[in-house]
Chains A and B, each alone.
Chain A
């Protein structure tokens, strides 16, 4: 396998240095103009990330009512303290804030790319603009951000954690990770790969697998540091919200699924149809099923943990409790970090066509059900199944390609078989 190198240039060309601000400016413009009213769209924000619910919680909080006593507000107390103190409750300001948060996410993605290529922090590569563009202009990430879904914050935190981990900035990475876990409990899946990434290196070893090279003895201390930050934030949350009711309302929600508002994931319809006496069992199955992928993926890709976390993002996008479009969106965008596997993707055209069908079917069936009234919930559910198939196909493609690349180019007369 001849590795293609991405030429580092110490100084960016003039056009390149303007590309990133220009892209952010375009995004900002769209966010400010708000061409469509997307805030109420079920596909772009879940009950856990909805801007409307956030506003309601802040309103209750400011009026001295515990926002977690009702069944509406399910955001972390960290959001509550952030938005009720520092940040004004204006929609224009929010549009700017959400765009900046996406810009930061794109910045983190570019730095992950540079770290993976072994370029210095300030070295520019020829692909930087493509990487940033893939994050800023992916419709699955772009639309939830325009709809002011807090999933944009979660994506940014996840990318920041990965960026710091790739740059070996232990404390920052762990702090970002504990913020991420506070805002979205399902991201627990990412704990192992980020810790292991801190112990190894972010470079591509996909073509030459080897045993895990890092020093596992440091793991307990990393874990301890993480727990320290995490419990500090938990205490801060308790202080901010004045109690511990937030635990069951925020983390508990992604485990017990109290709100069955439709979304793009697989949970809501399943538990709408479920008889009550089976509910706890299947809640356990669904939650454990999500976590169970961590170990095999991390073991298989122990030589390239950035790739492991990439695959786990894909799994989160399919099986998470309250997903929005930005969860699979992040996985799709992250493909840009791994150009070396492109030639080995298994059935990219099939996956792309499935995604094309799903991305047209979901808004259509959502509309047939809830606006036109000619369809029913089964229509939308069927389209989310197509979407899940598309995401599943993408994860399988990524897994296959990540493993297949180690075997090199196909030789005439030889076939690779999976045992």
Chain B
């Protein structure tokens, strides 16, 4: 009876008991905390391994259709394709005439002076103020460039000219990353567009037509002069004409005599991307108003062109899978993502448009994919006109946080939340591995020699990286033998640093503490640059994640040296590709692409630290 009477009370108490069990509260709390810590401790390796697994699998899943979604226009003001365009056959004829003159200049091996005076004349004949700008790079690198840009301004008839849009073409096309094919049709197109666009009074922003010399160098010089940024190794003439703040820029690249598709190239310097709305607007206009299929880069979609399937799919894939739609889609999107990663991680971007982004200008290149047909000036002119009308509608800059994305196809993309966790998971796994090493170092009440590790190993390795950087940028090391000598010095110096670390009873081994701190540092760097240059961060996570977590000293001396040498080679291997190094040097000194200092000051030192861990 008594028990029965207590039953309701017990029922009420039951949930309370779970959250606040009877007994000494402190004791319970300590027990609970210990149980949780022990559980985490037991599963630390499992947690690390599963995070690594999730991260690597997620990286592989980025091209999958499951993660992506279709593109859409976020900014309502853009209204792409809502206007009637006026570009017509007589404008095409103008473009053809310009092209003839340009071809004559090319065939007569005209000097750049002659070319510039021709372009200036043509702009002036249209009644546009035009000017030229000479520039010269004086970097240490062997591929120094000089040239002369031509540009013309059309002042907006409807506004005060505080904002501007750029239409540009570089003299050298982006075919084979600017290897020398001329972009004659692109230049003719810009001339014809200038003549055509100035007839209309609907422009609310100034139009600036820029015909830059070279591939990247000319536009870099022009943009630097326009924005008044100084660079010690670049001599430029000041610009005679000026306009307002540039909001958007289109770069036209038309190397063939006709085109079948229009490709979009969008990656900028140092991993910066343009606002996705701009790309989406262009894609909508070209695809649905003008009927020109849009592709990403110069990659044709194998789902539309079955004959391309064999190029995209590796040989080892069995025959019955080769027609699988999902597999082909994955392979196609993987190819796009891989190309994107290469452009973004290198920091070099994918063309002339990439130079604009650093000045907060959204820009991309319209690449006319060379083909026998069916499209030409007529289609391209209408598309560019309509795209300019769309950006002309903007009342404020494109913002809407549409700057973080990966395009997996012309109409599909990944939002930041769908791709960021891949690299971050690996970085968190590295952090856990580092913290585990940290905790284990202090077992049996040993103290951790933190200051000694930082002062004796971490700072010196970064200083060695600084020496490598200085050696490269000062031009002292410009050949393989000199590089071998430099690397030998770096190879030997840790051996001196390592000299006889006395194993003490109450001091944790240096290797464990070094590994812990180095892993934590690398993990931090990877997570931080994920928002700046995701491709670089993901690449670093992929190549450093496992090697750094697995570095450990071994008992036998020869094995230690073998491991040390392997890690060392992994850390400095990139230095021996002289051609690539020259490119990196030019990128850094001329275009401020920070991949070279990053590799010298972060990547190599971090791998060197892992190699020292093996040696200690």
Give per-residue flags for A348-367: 1 if the beta carbon is below 8 A from chain B beta carbons, else 0.
Answer: 01000100110011001100
- CB–CB A357/B528 < 8 A: yes
Give the chain A neighbours of B97 by CB distance below 8 A.
none
The residue in B404, B527, B532 that gathers the most chain A C-beta atoms within 10 A of its C-beta is B532
Give the chain B neighbours of A372 by CB distance below 8 A.
272, 357-358, 360
Give the chain A neighbours of B292 by CB distance below 8 A.
none
List the A residue with the shortest CB-CB distance to B270. Answer: A372
List the B residue with the shortest CB-CB distance to A419. Answer: B26
Q: Measured between alpha carbons, how far is A374 from B402 in the docked complex, in Å? A: 8
Give per-residue flags for B391-402: 1 if the beta carbon is below 8 A from chain A beta carbons, else 0.
Answer: 000000101010
- CB–CB B532/A364 < 8 A: yes
List the A residue with the shortest CB-CB distance to B521. Answer: A356
Task: Check: A415 CB closer than 8 A to any chain B CB.
Answer: yes
- CB–CB B438/A374 < 8 A: no
Task: Check: A368 CB closer than 8 A to any chain B CB.
Answer: yes
Give the chain B neighbours of A248 by CB distance below 8 A.
none
The number of residue pairs between A and B whose CB atoms lie closer than 8 Å in the complex comes to 47
- CB–CB B531/A417 < 8 A: no
Give the chain B neighbours of A343 by CB distance below 8 A.
447
- CB–CB B360/A373 < 8 A: yes
Task: Check: A376 CB closer than 8 A to any chain B CB.
Answer: yes
How far, in Å, is B99 (CB) from chain A's closest CB? 37
Q: When A417-B26, A417-B29 are in contact, do A376 and B528 touch as well, CB less than 8 Å?
A: no
Interface size class of B (residues with CB under 8 A): 20 to 34
Give the chain A neighbours of B521 by CB distance below 8 A.
356
Picked from B30, B403, B525, B528, the residue with its CB within 8 Å of the CB of A374 is: B403
Q: Measured between alpha carbons, how far is A373 from B361 in the docked complex, in Å? A: 9
How far, in Å, is B101 (CB) from chain A's closest CB? 40
Give per-residue flags for A335-356: 1 if the beta carbon is below 8 A from chain B beta carbons, else 0.
Answer: 0000000010000010001001
From residue 23 to 71 of chain B, which have CB atoms closer than 8 A to chain A?
A: 26, 29-30
Give the chain B neighbours of A371 by CB distance below 8 A.
360
- CB–CB A357/B524 < 8 A: yes
Give the chain A neighbours of B431 by CB distance below 8 A.
353
List the A residue with the shortest CB-CB distance to B26. Answer: A417
- CB–CB B360/A376 < 8 A: no
Give the chain A neighbours of B532 by CB distance below 8 A.
364, 368
Task: Check: B520 CB closer than 8 A to any chain A CB.
Answer: yes
Picked from B360, B404, B524, B531, the residue with its CB within 8 Å of the CB of A353 is: B524
Task: Check: B435 CB closer than 8 A to any chain A CB.
Answer: yes
Give per-residue flags for A318-332: 1 if the beta carbon is below 8 A from chain B beta carbons, else 0.
Answer: 000000000000000
Q: Measured between alpha carbons, how far is A350 from B69 in the docked complex, in Å? A: 38
Q: Measured between alpha carbons, how far is A353 from B401 in the docked complex, in Å? A: 28
Give per-residue flags for B527-541: 1 if the beta carbon is below 8 A from chain A beta carbons, else 0.
Answer: 110011000000000
Give the chain B neighbours of A417 by CB distance below 8 A.
26, 29-30
Q: Measured between alpha carbons, how far is A373 from B396 in the docked complex, in Å? A: 13
- CB–CB A353/B520 < 8 A: yes
Give the chain A neighbours of B357 by CB distance below 8 A.
372
From residue 531 to 584 of chain B, which have CB atoms closer than 8 A to chain A?
A: 531-532
Q: When A373-B360, A419-B26 are in contact, do A368 and B531 touch as well, CB less than 8 Å?
A: yes
Residues on B facing A (Cβ under 8 Å): 26, 29-30, 272-273, 357-358, 360, 397, 399, 401, 403-404, 431, 435, 438, 447, 520-521, 524-525, 527-528, 531-532
The 23 sampled A-B contact pairs (Cβ below 8 Å) are A349-B435, A349-B438, A353-B520, A353-B524, A356-B520, A357-B527, A360-B525, A360-B528, A361-B528, A368-B532, A371-B360, A372-B357, A372-B358, A373-B360, A374-B272, A374-B273, A374-B403, A375-B401, A375-B403, A379-B531, A415-B30, A417-B26, A417-B30
New contact pairs (10) apart from A372-B357, A375-B403, CB-CB < 8 Å: A353-B524, A360-B525, A361-B528, A364-B528, A368-B532, A372-B272, A372-B358, A374-B403, A374-B404, A375-B401
